[in-house]
Every structure is written in structure tokens, then in C-alpha cells.
Amino acid sequence: MREEELLVYRNMGSHEKLLKKLMGLMSDDSPHDREAFRKLFYECSHELLKLADSHGFRGNLWHCFLTELLVNHENSFSKACEIGGLAEGTVNDAVLHDMGVFFDWFRYDITAKAAGQCSDVVSMILRYQGSEAAPGLYSRRIRDRINVLAAALAGASRPEEIQRRLTAFYQEYGVGTFGLHKAFRVIREERGLDIVPITNMAETALDDLVGYEIPKQKLIDNTEAFLSGKKANNCLLYGDGGTGKSSSIKAIANEYYSRGLRLIEVYKHQCRELQEVTALIKNRNYKFIIYMDDLSFEDFEVEYKYLKAVIEGGLETKPANVLIYATSNRRHLIREKFSDKEDRSDDLHKSDTVQEKLSLAARFGVSIYFGAPDRKEFHNIVKSLAARQQIAIGEAELAAAADRWEMAHGGLSGRTAQQFVDYLSAIN
């Protein structure tokens, strides 16, 4: 039913098969055989219900499905509009043509032909009520916004209104996987490299991280410069374990998501994939931080050479919308030995060996130290965390209990303090 008329919004990816099945229900030559029609309708209904559960859709699932197609379709128009932009030229006319097709689809009652023979399912499709729990694919905020948009597009009085509302969505949230998610990981599949969303990222906020105000501010200042289009540096966060290095980067991703910041987690063994990763994201209107957690290399590991080339040294310049933020317990990232500097070493060029091992860390323009707190700072962290969780224990008693806990659970650190307060919360 008119899908062949689409000019810009063609090829719906993973939803293409379901769309064709639904078009089959809508077409004039849909199965006239009663049982064949019922079979196709129940099959489509099953897939719509699965989509509703995985995406958190509510209300008219036909309208939600159409909206899902629109907000995820990456094309010249949607990518030009994403994060505050506006498409120019003839593409607007082509999109308006496509919105005429979607306008007709939104007005069509997908259950009309089934009302007489599949009435037990019709009400589910038109007035679906799912769980209020956060869905697997979208955050609650994005889920609710898509549900609201679906109702608005269904109520549009003309195609121009659909285009206007959709443009506003792209400008505010972006489009597709990068627009609707804040964090991603890299996987290698048979068809090639893929960047897939992480759907259960911790909602850590900068204010949740007690202490470390100077290190956090350095990270914030660098990120602010990056988002503002100013010169910014790759960052290395190094220091003791459990001091909030990784949590700070996650908090940055949460804080600046609305300004177009996205986080892509890359593991050490994937360093050789970095060139391909940057090629996939360099032309998007987002700012990307490639996040490498707990980064360090042994003598025999050579993956760091790929990382050096991407940061600085390769023929192709790193895209302006990409930075690398790494955390490590090692300041210099690559394992060093006393023999590297000994005169009796069998290395003919000792200084070259040392420089090679220092060169990776030197490519990070900003290095931020996160040190273990002293006992007074540790007590302050515990006190602040306990107050947030409304744990009513005297200050002296709390400090004494925290000291006993840290001696058996990893020493003085922010992580130990958080684990102790979580323990208190569980038993009180």
C-alpha cells in the first residue's frame, strides 16, 4: 500500500519484513480466505506485541510502529536535522512527499478488516498497556517521548504537520541508534564492524561522586570545550583503584547527552578496530568519546601501536568530533622494568625502548590523577553517602564502622565507601 512510492524513507532495516506483512493486511488484494487472513493478522499482531514489550510502546501499536520507523530512519534529511540542524534544498520536498504516504498510513485503521473475525486481538493492538518498568531498548525518557510523538503524528491534520513535528524531534533528540542512545560498544560480526547500544548504563551523576572536585573539574572543562567546538584534548584518568575514574566518565556521558555527547566503549583488544570505528562516526552531528577502561599493556602486547596511530601519528587525522578518554591504574600505560634503564641491559638502544613505552601516555594531552583518599577524606565520603541514603548513625560510630569495613574490604577508596554505605542501607 504505497510503500513503493517512498523517495527518502525507504529500506526500513530490521523492520522491513514486518512492514511488508502489515502492508499485505492493508492492501486490497490481502488474503480473501478467512483462515489465511486470520493467520497473517495474528502473525503481525504477535510481532507488534513483541515490539511493544521490547521498546516500551503503549496505546495504538500501529501508530507506534510507524513512529519507530520514522525516528530511526537515517537518511540525508534526518541526519541533517539531528541535534539542532535543519535540512535545506529539494530534499524537503521529497520528504514532504513521503510524509503524505505516512499521513495516509497513520489515518488507516489497521484493524478494520479484522474487526469481525479477530475481535479478541483488536483491542490489544489499539489500546495496549505495557509495564511501566524501564524497557530494554530505550531509556524511560526516550520511550515516553516516542509514545507522545506517535499520538501527535496520528492526530496530524496534514502531511506538513507530520514533517514539522518529526523535524523538531530530530533537532532535539537526533535520529536512529546514535540519536536515541547515549552509550555503545563495538562488536565484530560476519557482515562487519557494528556499533551497538548499551541499554542498561548506570545513571551516575557528577554530584554522586563525592570529593575529587579538582580532577572532576578538569574533566568537565575539557568536555565543555569539546562540545563547544573549541580545542580539546584526549584524557587519561589514572591513579588508585576505586577512586571514581570510570564513574566520572560515565557521569560525563549522562550529563551531556542532551548536548549531543555519545560514549563508545572500546576494549584493549579492539585497538586495531579504532580506525574503522572513527570512520563510522566522523560524519555525524554528535560528539563522540571513545572510552577505554582500565587501559594498560604488557611488553608482549602490541595493540597500543594502533591506539598511538589513531591519537596522533597516522596519516589520517582523527575526526574533530572524536576524543579518547581512558582510565588506568598505570601512569605510563605500558609496563616498565628496571632493566629498561640498566646499563647492562642487552638492548642496544635503551633510551629508544624507554621512549617507546612513554610515548603512548604522552599522546594524551590531559592527564588527571585520582588518588586514594586519606582517612579524613574517606570519613567525609562515607558521611556524605550515608546522608544521601538517610542512614541515621552517629558520626563517630559511622567512622569507626567504616574503618573496620575498609580493613577487610579493599582499603581506603570511594568504591569501598560506597560498598560500606550500601551494606548499611541493606541492614537498616
CATH code of residue 257: 3.40.50.300
The lowest-confidence range among 121-130, 235-244, 355-364 is 355-364
Q: What is the pLDDT of residue 96?
A: 96
Q: Quick check: 3 pLDDT over 50?
A: yes
Q: What is the pLDDT of residue 341?
A: 52
Q: What is the pLDDT of residue 134?
A: 52
Q: What is the pLDDT of residue 104?
A: 94
* 168 and 85 Cβ atoms separated by less than 8 Å: no
Sheet holding 235-239, edge to edge: 192-197, 183-189, 261-265, 287-292, 322-328, 235-239, 366-370
- pLDDT tens digits along 204-245: 888 888 888 999 999 999 999 999 999 999 999 998 888 899
> Is 188 a member of any domain?
no
The lowest-confidence range among 170-184, 233-247, 342-356 is 342-356
> Is 185 a member of any domain?
no
Q: What is the pLDDT of residue 85?
A: 80
The lowest-confidence range among 193-202, 312-321, 365-374, 390-399 is 312-321
- pLDDT tens digits along 83-103: 888 888 899 999 999 999 999
Q: What is the pLDDT of residue 203?
A: 85
Q: Quick check: 75 pLDDT over 70?
A: yes
Q: What is the pLDDT of residue 349?
A: 42
User: Does residue 356 sit in the same domain as residue 210?
Assistant: yes
Across the range 404-421, mean pLDDT stands at 89
Q: What is the pLDDT of residue 98?
A: 96
User: Does residue 263 sit in the same domain as residue 164?
Assistant: no
Higher per-residue confidence, 28 vs 37 = 37
Q: What are the residue ranges of helices labelled H in 27-139?
A: 34-55, 61-72, 76-81, 91-107, 119-126
The lowest-confidence range among 136-140, 185-189, 268-272 is 136-140
Q: What percent of the chain has pLDDT over 90?
A: 46
For residue 209, give the 3-state DSSP assignment. Answer: coil
User: Does residue 239 sit in the same domain as residue 344?
Assistant: yes
Per DSSP, what are the bridge partners of residue 265? Answer: 185, 291
User: Does residue 31 sit in the same domain as residue 143?
Assistant: yes
Q: Quick check: 33 pLDDT over 60?
A: yes
CA distance 389 to 138: 28
> Is 189 a member of any domain?
no
> Is 199 a member of any domain?
no
User: Does residue 98 sit in the same domain as residue 243?
Assistant: no
Per the structure block, which three cell numbers stand in for 357? 613505552
User: Does residue 172 sit in the same domain as residue 215?
Assistant: no
Higher per-residue confidence, 132 vs 396 = 396
User: Does residue 239 sit in the same domain as residue 133?
Assistant: no
User: Does residue 159 sit in the same domain as residue 296?
Assistant: no
User: Does residue 151 sit in the same domain as residue 282?
Assistant: no
Q: Quick check: 338 pLDDT over 50?
A: no
State which of 370, 394, 409 marks the end of a domain: 370
> Is 316 a member of any domain?
yes
Q: Quick check: 181 pLDDT over 50?
A: yes
Across the range 183-211, mean pLDDT stands at 87
Q: What percent of the chain has pLDDT over 70?
A: 87
* Average of per-residue pLDDT values in the chain: 85
**Strand ranges (DSSP E) for 249-396?**
261-265, 287-292, 322-328, 366-370
> Is 14 a member of any domain?
yes
Q: Quick check: 41 pLDDT over 80?
A: yes
Q: What is the pLDDT of residue 352?
A: 46
**Beta-carbon neighbour count of residue 136 at 10 Å?**
11
Range of the domain at 324: 206-370
User: Does residue 150 sit in the same domain as residue 296?
Assistant: no
Q: How confident is the model at residue 348 (pLDDT cuts 50, 70, 90)?
A: very low
User: Does residue 164 sit in the same domain as residue 233?
Assistant: no
Distances, alpha carbon 349 to alpha carbons 21, 332, 339, 343, 356, in Å: 68, 19, 12, 10, 11
> Is 155 a member of any domain?
yes
Q: What is the pLDDT of residue 306?
A: 75
Q: Quick check: 353 pLDDT over 80?
A: no
Q: How confident is the model at residue 28 (pLDDT cuts 50, 70, 90)?
A: low
State which of 370, 394, 415 marks the end of a domain: 370
User: Does residue 271 sit in the same domain as residue 346?
Assistant: yes
The lowest-confidence range among 2-6, 249-253, 330-334, 363-367 is 330-334
> Is 198 a member of any domain?
no
Nearest to 125 by CA among 181, 51, 185: 51
**What single letter denotes the amino acid at residue 64?**
C
Q: What is the pLDDT of residue 135?
A: 56
Q: What is the pLDDT of residue 354?
A: 47
CA distance 176 to 182: 12
Domain count across the chain: 3
Across the range 51-56, mean pLDDT stands at 90
For residue 235, give the 3-state DSSP assignment. Answer: strand
